[in-house]
Amino acid sequence: MKKLINDANNLVHESLVGLAMAHPDILKVSFDPVYVMRRDAPVAGKVGIVSGGGSGHEPMHAGFVGRGMLTAACPGQVFTSPTPDQIEAATRAVNSGAGVLHIVKNYTGDVMNFEMAAEFCQTDGAKILAVVINDDVAVEDSLYTAGRRGVGTTVLAEKICGAAAERGYDLERIGALCRKVNENGRSMGMALTSCTTPAAGKPTFELGEDEMEIGIGIHGEPGRERTHLLNAREITTRLAETILADLPFRTGDSVIAMVNGMGGTPLMELYLVYQELARVLRSRGIAVARRLVGNYITSLDMAGCSITLLRVEDEFLALWDDPVLTPALRWKA
Amino acid sequence: MKKLINDANNLVHESLVGLAMAHPDILKVSFDPVYVMRRDAPVAGKVGIVSGGGSGHEPMHAGFVGRGMLTAACPGQVFTSPTPDQIEAATRAVNSGAGVLHIVKNYTGDVMNFEMAAEFCQTDGAKILAVVINDDVAVEDSLYTAGRRGVGTTVLAEKICGAAAERGYDLERIGALCRKVNENGRSMGMALTSCTTPAAGKPTFELGEDEMEIGIGIHGEPGRERTHLLNAREITTRLAETILADLPFRTGDSVIAMVNGMGGTPLMELYLVYQELARVLRSRGIAVARRLVGNYITSLDMAGCSITLLRVEDEFLALWDDPVLTPALRWKA
């Protein structure tokens, strides 16, 4: 295993120390229990937005903490759910009294621990709502999930709901908005190589030199199909068509399109995939209203990509365009 | 070889099509000859800033085209210098009459081709200045370079000179500024793995499972030393101390610090390295005025990192803080 680390057991801690030192203008980190929060939280009168999950998917979630996006993020150990006490502490820390939305990716441990944390907070009368993101069209159940996994739509939901909180929407309205984002978002990913977790020290799964996995999960969970290597056009078409058929997206729809790298894929290749995706969408009469190309929800050093499409309406777009200032996403700020 | 591409011969072209489609608000791409330019270039009354070099180092340079940074970038084929006609066309296209600064990384082909392009443009009376960046402290001469290679300081020079152009500095003054940035910037990199160029289809060099290369070049050129695997603290200390001793940086200095990923290294590890770097700098009494952590000057899918330190003064910092709006770097915009 080749990694820039000191000790696999201390990797998440040391990385968060670096994050805190690199972005003191945006966020601060609590280490006991561990959570990352907006420097100015709680924000008076505003709903707090809290997400979290296993580490190893950076910049998600801690890289999305800041004005206009997450109020706090709870990073677990690598590919391990955050504990209820982390989530409880983060939720209490950012609650201005206006309540807190939990945005939870659909993995059994995450869902359970966010639920427990919400119950703890609610004993004191705090208003907590949770929305579970389950946008991965690749498989129905999976290694760590009952139902569909939560992936790229999470990034878009965090941006849109964060903007809504900044505008002063109340908790009920932001919860409804987040559910609507989830209902209109679909994703699917693929891997050219496995990731290697620091604790295991070897690839999570084996892929031959001439093989790839379509429909991979962000922890290396099995996908739909293991196939021989395809080119970027074939891969993009396969991912895009599966996504489009699922909602289904229709001629005349507008979307936010995200081409996301899994961590080990050069940006050059992601732009190439974006160009293929744009071609498929144009051929279907679907307009790309906004787009993101880069590493947003990764899987350590895995080579591969995922595509997320969110069918949008005016409200989504206006909130998307609002200012955001986080380590990984920033504009108009 | 596992890459998200269609045809190795068409990779740069297809990737630039994707770049153009993804950022129509910021830039446009000319395909014959190939260059990327600010959407609103030439900018009346303002000096143009043009850089370029082989592809495979994304986001550098095309990802730095936009308001407050590069006016144009000339991407060559992968790890191949752009041709004089590309550079000439880009230079002419962005020249508002106020002249153009060429920021050139010190590789023999780049330097020669930028010089030829400048000569062609000057026959028509255009004012062109070139500054060669040679900040890599790892080795004196190298595979493609006489003297020191140009690496991370290029990113900082492009930001600072781009801001100066935006403020209306004249060409002489921006040229002097760029030379001063180069004189005060030092970098060094390391690799855990080789990159694989699409044309070769196999790793550029061989590294054993328990080996790493200290002082690597961004094309996989040999470094100072091949050693057994070290941990992040040892690696960071070795890179930082070599850089610090070279200028030399002294107690009381302020720096812009960049921890840069080579393309295949997770963000989590880069933040961990940043934390180690901050520790070294603190122990030397050097203040970190600003910092960048992420993938800025990469080497395809290579795993590894580089560190750049730029000794700053008030003018550098003020220009650094000015608004920038490019695909890869944006703030206050």
Contact A2 B212 (CB under 8 A): yes
Q: Which helix (H) or strand (E) holds A275?
A: helix A267-283
- Nearest CB neighbour to A18, from listed B12, B21, B271: B271
Whether residue B163 is found in the same domain as residue B277: no
Q: Is the per-residue pLDDT at B144 higher than 90?
A: no
Chain B residue numbers touching A273 (CB-CB < 8 A): 4, 18
Starting at the earlier edge strand, list the strands of the sheet with A128-133. A27-31, A34-38, A72-78, A48-55, A100-105, A128-133
Active site residues of A: 57, 219
Whether residue B199 is found in the same domain as residue B147: no
Whether residue A81 is found in the same domain as residue A167: yes
Which tokens in the block code for residue A263? 């961590």
Chain A residue numbers touching B278 (CB-CB < 8 A): 18, 21
Whether residue A273 is found in the same domain as residue A295: yes
Chain A residue numbers touching B291 (CB-CB < 8 A): 21-22
Residue A109 domain boundaries: 9-183+322-326
Whether residue B204 is found in the same domain as residue B250: yes
Chain B residue numbers touching A267 (CB-CB < 8 A): 58-59, 63, 263, 295, 298
Higher pLDDT, A100 or B142: A100
Give me the pLDDT at residue B333, please: 67
Give me the pLDDT at residue A211, please: 97
Q: What is the mean pLDDT of residues A225-235?
A: 97
Judge whether B4 lies within some domain: no
Q: CA A102 to CA B214: how far, in whole Å?
A: 44
Whether residue B197 is found in the same domain as residue B173: no
Determine the residue among B14, B235, B268, B292 to mutate to test chain A binding: the one whose Cβ has the most chain A Cβ atoms within 10 Å.
B268
**Which residue reads 């729809």 in tokens?**
A253
Whether residue B166 is found in the same domain as residue B259: no
Q: CA B103 to CA B155: how far, in whole Å?
A: 10
Q: What is the mean pLDDT of residues A230-257?
A: 98
Judge whether A179 lies within some domain: yes
Whether residue B28 is found in the same domain as residue B156: yes
Whether residue B220 is found in the same domain as residue B128: no
Give me the pLDDT at residue A143, please: 84
Q: Find, in chain B, the residue whose alpha carbon is nearest to that of A306.
A: B4
The pLDDT tens digits of the residues spanning B288-330 come to 999 999 999 999 999 999 999 999 999 999 999 999 999 999 9
Q: CA A87 to CA A102: how far, in whole Å?
A: 9
Whether residue B42 is preceded by a cis peptide bond, meaning omega within 30 degrees of 0, is: yes
Q: Is the per-residue pLDDT at A37 higher than 70?
A: yes
Judge whether A3 lies within some domain: no
Distances (CA, A) of A291 to A157, A294, B240, B333: 14, 10, 37, 18
Domain of A69, CATH number, reads 3.40.50.10440
The pLDDT tens digits of the residues spanning B207-253 come to 999 999 999 999 999 999 999 999 999 999 999 999 999 999 999 99
Judge whether B333 lies within some domain: no
Q: Is the per-residue pLDDT at B143 higher than 90?
A: no
Active site residues of B: 57, 219
Domain of A229, CATH number, reads 3.30.1180.20
> pLDDT band at B113, cuts 50/70/90?
very high
Q: CA A270 to CA B300: how far, in whole Å?
A: 12
Taking one residue from A and the other from B, the number of pairs with CB-CB distance under 8 angstroms is 168
Q: Is the per-residue pLDDT at A264 higher than 90?
A: yes
Phi-psi region of A252 (alpha: psi -120 to 50; beta: other; left: phi over 0): left
Here the ipTM equals: 0.97
Q: CA B310 to CA A249: how far, in whole Å?
A: 49
Contact A275 B7 (CB under 8 A): no
Whether residue A161 is found in the same domain as residue A26: yes
Which tokens in the block code for residue B193? 């793995």
Q: What percent of chain B has pLDDT over 90?
A: 96
Judge whether A331 lies within some domain: no
Whether residue B39 is found in the same domain as residue B143: yes
Give me the pLDDT at residue B281, please: 98
Whether residue A32 is found in the same domain as residue A161: yes
The pLDDT tens digits of the residues spanning A49-63 come to 999 999 999 999 999
Judge if pTM exceeds 0.90: yes
Which tokens in the block code for residue A285? 């009469």
The pLDDT tens digits of the residues spanning A180-228 come to 999 999 999 999 999 999 999 999 999 999 999 999 999 999 999 999 9
Number of domains within chain A = 2
